[in-house]
Structure 1
Amino acid sequence: MHMQLLFDNKVVIFDRTDFGRSNLSLPSGKCRYNDEAIMEDCTAHSLLYDVASNTYRPLMVQTDVWCSSGSVNSAGILIQTGGYHGGDHKIRVFTPCSDDDCDWIELQHETLSVQRWYASNQILPDGRVIVVGGRRAFNYEFFPKSLLEKPVYYFPFLKETTDPVEENNLYPFLHLLPDGNLFVFANQRSVVLDYVNHKIVKEFPAIPGEKRSYPATGSSAMLPLKLNPPILEGFFPLPPVSPSVEVMVCGGARGGAYLNATNGKFKAASKSCGRIRITDPDPKWVMENMPMSRVMPDMLILPTGDLIILNGAAKGTAGWEAAIDPVLNPLLYKPEESDPNKRFTVLKASTIPRLYHSSATLLPDGRILVGGSNPHVRYTFTGVSYPTELSIEAFSPPYLAAEFSHLRPSILSVEGPTGNVLSYGQQFSITLSMGLYQPEGEYSVTMVAPSFSTHSFAMNQRLLVLYIAHAQQLSVFAHKLTVYAPPTANIAPPGYYMLFVVTRGCLGIVFG
């Protein structure tokens, strides 16, 4: 149900705890006794997956993490918030370690101010996390809290966007903007929230078509931020011009889809995507259609700046047994393609339906890790159309195809960072080699923030296209790029990023 890639190339994966026993035992002597399903549970509902070795080990969560949220802070620690019943006020942390001793820690003296079930998180420029919304939670709060601020701030926008019975505004889409404010989307509406002064500073037109937020679940991404060169005045660089910002929302379901599904009527999901350039003077949604209908899609930004859309169903909505007709084919979307009819490409299908409570995340090697699908109240493996799915698989986008191996760059070194740490606005160099001789060509250097993925939304996801000041061919095979780091914490909140070099659509990778 939930995934988070960590800086050590391991992925924390976890599910709700009140399904009953899982198929993975906890280490000897570890058990939970506060479970809502059984008296004693000595099985794991979380694990740590090591991508490099393709191995995993069990982890122990203390309270129910069902439909919770998370962010990784600047130290690379997963801050995980909320859940269900005994877990709905909880704050948990997972700190990566070099041995096998690290596990979940539930904070004893710090809790959420209100219940957070189906809330969304965003890491902020100052390193704090903002936690927004949740079921019957028309407000937001921060972690860690400041003594000078209120425990919680009322946010009437969330109440205004709630539909009777179905809600359709849970897990709101959050995107941190280059001016430091927060883009918030719920149901069909979106605003810019100044969370420092606690006021809405801009509202946008409603997106046409279907509902887009849980349980009429679509997905959203902020398209790549293309960073501008610094402006030199004398010997001193000035802050660069802020990049333009475009947000994309895809998929969803009609109003009434959830109630219809509970009565066995599954309506076609949305085919539409909307893009809005929120930095325009008069922003408007520009609509286009996917090749197929989709509810519960996962939408991830690839290192190339393209998007991949995968998982989900063609009919119904999110919820227990509320969707049918799984969509098995991922879609590749090229936002820079000028012809709208050529932006979508249908990719090779998976054989495994990924419905409610599945998840996906980008890995440092460029693959997409996909897992889960628990479309039933309990683990159900037989006698149903869509069994509970415990597998994970990796999807390789087209840029990893064998026929492009001769184009794929290999990063040899990164010069400039001290201890693998970049400073804002710092100039640094990347030396790379090509498999075959190639003249100087088009390069891009991108940084991707690993996301907390759940319920079709990759929280904290962002891709930055860095400004390349100079490209030099050193030898037949070697090239050197001189690049500027992101200029501000508003554009790149402090933390760990994946660094990629892209040439002719193929990747070279540094994870740091």
Structure 2
Amino acid sequence: MKVSIVTVLFAATGIANIIFPFVQPHCNSSSGIGCLRGQHCLSDGTCVSHHITRDATPREDGRCGDDFDGAACDPKGAYGGCCSDHGYCGKTVDHCLVANGCQSGCTNTAVTSPAPQPAPTKASPGNSNSEPVIAQPSSTDAATGPETTDGTCGAANGGATCGDWPQGGCCSMYGFCGKSTAHCGEGCQSGPCARAPISPALKAAPAPKNVKPGSFKVVGQSGVPAMHAALMPNGRAVFLDKVEDYTQVKLSNGRYAYSAEYDPISNTYSALAYRTNAFCSGGSFLPNGTLLDVGGNAPLTWLDDTVGDGFKGIRYLTRSSADASINGDDWSEPGNELDTARWYASCQSMPDGSMFVASGSLNGLDPTVLTNNNPTFEILNAKGVTSGQSITIELLVKAQPYYMYPFVHLLPDGTLFVFASKSSEVFSVAGQKTVKNLPDLPGDYRTYPNTGGLVMLPLTADNNWTPEVVICGGGAYQDITSPSDPSCGRMNPLAPDPEWEMDAMPEDRGMVEGTLLPDGTVLWVNGAQKGAEGFNLATDPALEVLIYDPAAPLGKRWTTGASSTIPRLYHSVALLLLDGTLMIAGSNPDQMPVVAPKFDPQGFHTEFAVEVYTPPYLSGDNAQRRPTDVVLSTLSLNADSSTFTIGFTAPSDAKAVKVALYHGGFVTHAVHMSQRMAFLGTNGWKAGARQQLITVTGPPNNNVAPPGPYVVYVVVDGVPGVGQFIMVT
């Protein structure tokens, strides 16, 4: 069904409009609005396929339609006689209905609506071609029904009110009880509603161009859509995607690959296989350097029957800087599973080497329905095996339906900072309880489907490892019309009375992701200035790099960098490489890859180009001022304040040195899971000497640096040398 827009006014005085989609049954020939994907509108208001079918001889690989010389499908063949919108032969409704874009061999030529989804239960898988879509409220009239028994309320839940519900008496616009600004603010249905506008007070604040804005360069192709990414201990990037009907590379069995290993030295990729659908999964690194990927979505057996159900999937990928023979090895899936199904789960590496895995959808259906959601956490041990217990986190309960892909960071006292929707807390995993409730962050929603970006600023020995988190961007609701939020909040969660210090980016931005740099600054890249996460729900791509200097005074922290020419919308990633540049890849806003913009509703397409952004510290003359000949005395470091030495060559006029210990983590949906940086203590710097030998004091404990793979960067006068992987134990 094609959607158009209706404005819903909430029952409050002076409240801003919130816009949600509803069904438009006819199309408009002048605008094309109203037709399904794969169709165009005729002058009489009916929709027909835009595909050109020549009924050419069927291909042996089961591909068909426009992109394959108009090839038809053999109804007696192994695949099926219907050519899908995406050019794949089959016999399901996804292939055969004109309503779903069928190109030829269609069994139903009428333009009909897709079949309704099944009633949601824990066991029922969702439509794994789709994304979780937050349904519009059916009404925002004040609810006057009976008191809730499960924390749901409002028009969609029998008119229930919250009454004395322990978590709060405000019924949110989406039908959940609570007391946060997301519940009691704009759209509140009943209870002690404040009905304050969601829109932030801060507007975008213009910022000057950086003196050295840096530059972009396209260096290669990703092989697969880069939905997920991580930098492996061999210095290569791994890209991970969902099951698709097209990628740039195939496996030895003739199927498309959904994962690829990318070498930033040669800018080439190789195909990797997995066995369960990794669609919108989470991840982090185990203590031995193995990348762990968890959760996912249901199988698409009509498309690829070699890939199974990923809702509880656990995948392992091992690489080593010392053993090149395992480069190119596939994902390992020995059969371990999560305790509960998780689609859109977040991960955080813990001090004892275990893995904290939180949140996720149970079935991929409407997250405004309580039974679809999994607001719990489970612990996987240091080998990536679950404890077998899923435990509720009240913050995720109250954040619904904005509970998926929560922001999580390990704090230096061993507790976790957890953020979802607009709310956050300090959480004790050992105690299984909230240690401290933190103030709500002013502004719009910050997590899926209006994700902003989060970084924990570098921890330093100089300030006794005091943590500060920065959250920027977000949006108001899940629709292409949603404004994005330019505001940022900065806070020390462990302060006695923490408060958000508010700032603003130079522009509105959603799906913006922050990457820590070894000079202590933060790059904010990718995303859109309008819309939300979900297929074809974003427009106005944000092309400019934003540079944040946390050491500068409030109001002077932002400068702007170079601009890319490539939109990086939904499903984009950014990774800091060993050489100190930033790799940027991805953007796949379609249910299945679209290689031509004319077939995308917003004119965007699946992006396979890989770019490298060169930051200011490597621009101009800075590139010649790198420290070189870097030699570490050890590649294994205990987190116990033990020391090691680093020898290197510096410019003769260099003034100072810093050593950054960096863990890039796992990147997806603008969330950088487990990303952290620590500036270590140093001694022995000799001003004016080209040959340097410094003594470095390692992290004091695994709360500051949980075990796993890190990169050590020697930074002289703000310019980093090429990094080297080191294992922290």
TM-score (normalised: structure 1): 0.88
In the alignment, the residues of structure 2 paired with residue 506 and residue 148 of structure 1 have an alpha-carbon distance, to the nearest angstrom, of 42
In the alignment, the residues of structure 2 paired with residue 128 and residue 411 of structure 1 have an alpha-carbon distance, to the nearest angstrom, of 35
Pick from 434, 443, 446 the counterpart of residue 212 of structure 1. 446
Q: Point out 4+ residue stretches in structure 1 off by more than 3 angstroms.
A: 145-150
Amino acid at match of 1:246: E
Which residue pairs with 1:143 in the alignment?
380
**Segment drifting more, 147-156 vs 122-131:** 147-156
2:571 paired with 1:357: yes
Which residue pairs with 2:330 in the alignment?
103
2:628 paired with 1:410: yes
Amino acid at match of 2:421: N
In the alignment, the residues of structure 2 paired with residue 118 and residue 151 of structure 1 have an alpha-carbon distance, to the nearest angstrom, of 18
Whichever structure has more strand as a proportion of its residues is 1
Which residue pairs with 1:128 in the alignment?
354
Does the 8 Å CA contact 1:124/1:176 hold for their aligned counterparts?
Answer: yes
Which residue pairs with 2:341 in the alignment?
115
| 1:476, distance to aligned residue in structure 2 (A) | 4.1
Does the 8 Å CA contact 2:426/2:493 hold for their aligned counterparts?
Answer: no
Pick from 504, 529, 549 the counterpart of residue 289 of structure 1. 504
Identical aligned pairs, as a percentage? 35
Does the 8 Å CA contact 1:411/1:509 hold for their aligned counterparts?
Answer: no
Pick from 642, 651, 659 the counterpart of residue 426 of structure 1. 642
In the alignment, the residues of structure 2 paired with residue 330 and residue 177 of structure 1 have an alpha-carbon distance, to the nearest angstrom, of 28
Unaligned segments of structure 2, at least 5 residues: 1-226, 299-308, 362-372
Which residue pairs with 1:24 in the alignment?
249
Deviations 1:229-252 (A, max 9, x none): xxxxxxxxxxxx842111110000
Does the 8 Å CA contact 1:95/1:103 hold for their aligned counterparts?
Answer: no
Pick from 233, 236, 240 the counterpart of residue 14 of structure 1. 240
2:404 paired with 1:158: no
| 1:422, distance to aligned residue in structure 2 (A) | 1.4
In the alignment, the residues of structure 1 paired with residue 653 and residue 648 of structure 2 have an alpha-carbon distance, to the nearest angstrom, of 12
Amino acid at match of 1:105: S
2:715 paired with 1:502: yes
In the alignment, the residues of structure 2 paired with residue 381 and residue 322 of structure 1 have an alpha-carbon distance, to the nearest angstrom, of 18
**Segment drifting more, 182-191 vs 499-508:** 499-508
Pick from 339, 347, 351 the counterpart of residue 561 of structure 2. 347
Higher relative contact order (CA 8 A, sep 6+): 1
Does the 8 Å CA contact 1:216/1:318 hold for their aligned counterparts?
Answer: yes
In the alignment, the residues of structure 1 paired with residue 668 and residue 419 of structure 2 have an alpha-carbon distance, to the nearest angstrom, of 16
Which residue pairs with 1:226 in the alignment?
460
Amino acid at match of 2:473: G
| 1:510, distance to aligned residue in structure 2 (A) | 3.2
Secondary structure, aligned partner of 1:497: strand
Deviations 1:49-105 (A, max 9, x none): 112222211011112111001111111111110001210101111112522451111
In the alignment, the residues of structure 2 paired with residue 147 and residue 358 of structure 1 have an alpha-carbon distance, to the nearest angstrom, of 29
In the alignment, the residues of structure 2 paired with residue 174 and residue 348 of structure 1 have an alpha-carbon distance, to the nearest angstrom, of 30
In the alignment, the residues of structure 1 paired with residue 631 and residue 235 of structure 2 have an alpha-carbon distance, to the nearest angstrom, of 19
Secondary structure, aligned partner of 1:479: strand
Unaligned segments of structure 1, at least 5 residues: 32-41, 229-240
Does the 8 Å CA contact 1:3/1:454 hold for their aligned counterparts?
Answer: yes
Pick from 415, 421, 429 the counterpart of residue 195 of structure 1. 429
The structure having more radius of gyration, on CA atoms, is: 2
Does the 8 Å CA contact 2:629/2:649 hold for their aligned counterparts?
Answer: yes
TM-score (normalised: structure 2): 0.62
Does the 8 Å CA contact 1:178/1:491 hold for their aligned counterparts?
Answer: yes
Q: Size of the alignment, in residue pairs?
A: 468
Alignment of 1:371-386 (within 5 A): 371-382=585-596, 383=598, 384=600, 385-386=603-604
In the alignment, the residues of structure 1 paired with residue 616 and residue 487 of structure 2 have an alpha-carbon distance, to the nearest angstrom, of 24
Does the 8 Å CA contact 2:656/2:685 hold for their aligned counterparts?
Answer: no
Pick from 526, 531, 536 the counterpart of residue 316 of structure 1. 531
In the alignment, the residues of structure 1 paired with residue 630 and residue 342 of structure 2 have an alpha-carbon distance, to the nearest angstrom, of 45
Does the 8 Å CA contact 1:7/1:511 hold for their aligned counterparts?
Answer: no
2:467 paired with 1:245: yes
In the alignment, the residues of structure 2 paired with residue 101 and residue 249 of structure 1 have an alpha-carbon distance, to the nearest angstrom, of 36
Amino acid at match of 1:221: V
Which residue pairs with 1:90 in the alignment?
313
| 1:356, distance to aligned residue in structure 2 (A) | 0.5
Q: Per the alignment, do residues 506 and 196 of structure 1 end up closer, same or farther by CA in structure 2, a change over 3 Å counting?
A: same
Amino acid at match of 1:94: L
Q: Per the alignment, do residues 388 and 480 of structure 1 end up closer, same or farther by CA in structure 2, a change over 3 Å counting?
A: same
Deviations 1:398-441 (A, max 9, x none): 111131134321243223x2xx111221112222212x4215x2
Amino acid at match of 2:490: R
CA RMSD of aligned residues (A): 1.8
Which residue pairs with 2:38 in the alignment?
none
| 1:147, distance to aligned residue in structure 2 (A) | 11
**Segment drifting more, 475-484 vs 424-433:** 475-484
Which residue pairs with 1:232 in the alignment?
none
Which residue pairs with 1:50 in the alignment?
263
Q: Per the alignment, do residues 305 and 45 of structure 1 end up closer, same or farther by CA in structure 2, a change over 3 Å counting?
A: same
**Segment drifting more, 485-494 vs 241-250:** 241-250
Pick from 391, 399, 419 the counterpart of residue 617 of structure 2. 399
In the alignment, the residues of structure 2 paired with residue 149 and residue 208 of structure 1 have an alpha-carbon distance, to the nearest angstrom, of 36
In the alignment, the residues of structure 1 paired with residue 328 and residue 531 of structure 2 have an alpha-carbon distance, to the nearest angstrom, of 43
| 1:470, distance to aligned residue in structure 2 (A) | 3.2
Secondary structure, aligned partner of 2:555: helix
Does the 8 Å CA contact 1:221/1:249 hold for their aligned counterparts?
Answer: yes
